[in-house]
Amino acid sequence: YEEGVAVETRLFEGMDPILLGLEQRGIPWGIVTNKPVRFAAPLVQALGLAQRCAAVVCPDHVAERKPHPEALFLACDQIGVAPGQAIYVGDHERDIEAGRNAGMKTIAVRYGYIEEPTSVDQWQADIIADTVSDLAKLLQ
């Protein structure tokens, strides 16, 4: 992997305790991203998540990109859970649409790479989390 790939990249503050909490309760989690594997894999490794997450699915692994549900179906298959038993958390409308298309419960977050936070209300997510703290409460 390229040196320094994650110099400016880090988890949102408060996310590591959320992931640890899931892990301690035996709840597997994964990452489904539109970032190509050549960028995503080194980032996941550099952030210390590679051994912790049960799936990392990139566009390279599927024929269709989100909002098509193919990537979410693959992640669920890798994790060993039915899509109807999974929750998909996303910071983009296509994430929520993909989750709905896969039959998952969806949580839209109003933080992250969102240009218009007020637009989140129109995404038709099952639940909206305004902050990482809100997300933590929802996943307890």
Q: How far is CA 90 from the centre of its chain?
A: 6
Walk across the sheet containing 127-129 and list its strands: 87-90, 105-109, 127-129
Q: In the prediction, which pLDDT does 9 show?
A: 81
**Gyration radius (Cα) of the chain, Å:** 14
Per mean pLDDT, which range of 12-16, 35-39, 40-44, 115-119 is the poorest? 115-119
User: Residue 2 pLDDT > 70, yes or no?
Assistant: no
Which residues, at least 6 apart from 12, have a Cβ–Cβ distance to it below 8 Å? 111, 112, 132
Q: Which domains does the chain have, with CATH numbers?
A: 15-138 (3.40.50.1000)
Closest CA to 53 of 82, 83, 32: 32
Most confident segment among 27-31, 44-48, 116-120: 27-31
Q: Classify residue 103 as left (phi > 0), alpha (psi -120 to 50) or beta.
A: left
96 in Cβ contact with 115 (< 8 Å):
no
pLDDT 10s digits, 66-111: 999 999 999 999 999 999 999 999 999 999 999 999 999 999 999 8
pTM over 0.75: yes
